[in-house]
Structure 1
Amino acid sequence: MSAQTKYAAMSRRAAMTAAAMAAMATLAGCNGGGTPTAAEGDMALGAAEGAKVTVIEYASVTCPHCATWQEQTWPAFKAAYVDTNKVRYVFRELPTPPANVAVAGFMIARCAGEDKYFDVIHGIMASQGEWRAGVNPRDTLFRIGNGAGLNNEQIDACITDPANLKASEERSEAAMKAGVNSTPAFFVNGVEVVTPGGEGASMADLSRAIEAELAKG
């Protein structure tokens, strides 16, 4: 089976998985989606595990609201809380349509290595406009993967590896079973922070929740 055929098969399976996840979301209730307990596959920045404050974001590389939050809020949030090690920031993957692109993007980020994971995630989010302009998302993923040090053969192997796809499905299932059904979703020490009408939680609302937790004895 050629790499292109494998990629197409992975795309179909990823789309089916996303449909199943969407169906689960309609049944799931809020059940500790932001619990600060470490989960399999967590990717984190900032303070070490066990920090006084853990901020968890559920997001997708294909979610336009996630991309907007990344562009508008992440720089200030990172400077205030991540770079200063005031919080442990955890990113959890929850694919959104087009699911095959999201799943492939997540896998490429992981194959690039922990030290480049967030660079790849942020790079894909920032490139969403290319798809709206007619660029094939696969070309974008490969370009970003190449920039992270992966050659095309390595990327093909990464995104067609059944073990990688299975792990991605398990992370999605865990998010849905926890009651998370939209992206981006933010939790500060297990409590969801929502900014009505916003593109994800605002810096002001996140700061309010974080500072309240930091102030506790």
Structure 2
Amino acid sequence: MPIDRRVVLAAASGLLAAGGLVRPAAAQADNPKLSERSMGDGPLVVQEFFSLTCSHCGDFGRSTWPQVKAELVQTGKIRFVWRDFPLDQIALRAAVVARYLPIPAYEPFIETLFQTQDRWAFARGVDHKTEIGKIAVLAGMPQAMFETAWADDATARGILELRQQGERQYNIQATPTFVFGSRTVSGAIPFDRFAQEVARG
């Protein structure tokens, strides 16, 4: 979805002001939870900048990602890299929780969040934390760990700084945005378009 910068800045300002900006490389070195989340070992790197509360990101996750995973990632054509680009505080906290899971559990958890967006992200009057917590527990996260993750401002600051770095480097204007090598494509593109971009190399 197109970025409402007022929402982004509101999500970021308090944490970044409180903790100061950190260099992305330093943040990753100091905090292993900020290490890259990726799948596959293909020659072409494809990055997805996404927000867990973005309906278009959810559409890609539900409709296109399973085919991308089966036909392009698992066949060794691409390495797919997830880049957090949270658009609000709920997406930010959910992203932190995801990074507390073991790396093999990251992708299933992200995709479960996309599958259940209507329940935890968009339902009127929903307690976002409670609903995300239920999904985290089902993914194998102890409740105490979930509470720690939800309150982890240091990791949240690191995610926001990495998001700012991605915005500067690739001029991200909407989510999802895909970077095929160095080419940027925005929107929840269908599989055929995705495969065409991969074929371009």
TM-score for both structures, normalised by structure 1:
0.73
2:199 and 2:35 map into 1 onto residues whose CA distance is: 27
2:13 and 2:134 map into 1 onto residues whose CA distance is: 25
| Aligned match for 2:173, one of 169, 181, 204 | 181
5+ residue gaps, structure 1: 1-13, 22-39
Aligned to 2:123: 133
Deviation at residue 171 of structure 1 after TM alignment = 1.5
Equivalent residue runs for 1:48-197 within 5 Å: 51-96=42-87, 99-130=88-119, 131-134=121-124, 135-178=126-169, 179-194=171-186
1:161 and 1:20 map into 2 onto residues whose CA distance is: 11
**Aligned letter for 1:58?**
F
**Aligned letter for 1:201?**
I
Deviation at residue 20 of structure 1 after TM alignment = 10
TM-score for both structures, normalised by structure 2:
0.78
1:43 maps onto 2:37 in alignment = yes
**Aligned partners of 1:59 and 1:185 also within 8 Å:** yes
Deviation at residue 183 of structure 1 after TM alignment = 0.3
* Rg comparison, structure with higher value: 1
**Aligned letter for 1:168?**
I
Q: Deviations 1:99-124 (Å, cap 9, x if unpaired)?
A: 12111111111101211111121111
RMSD: 2.4
**Aligned partners of 2:96 and 2:152 also within 8 Å:** no
**Aligned partners of 1:105 and 1:141 also within 8 Å:** yes
**Aligned letter for 1:44?**
S
Once structures 1 and 2 are overlaid, which stretch shifts more, 83-92 or 163-172?
Answer: 163-172
* Residues 189 and 174 (structure 1), Cα distance of their counterparts in 2 relative to 1, 3 Å cut: same
* Residues 18 and 125 (structure 1), Cα distance of their counterparts in 2 relative to 1, 3 Å cut: farther
How much identity, in percent, do the aligned residues show? 23
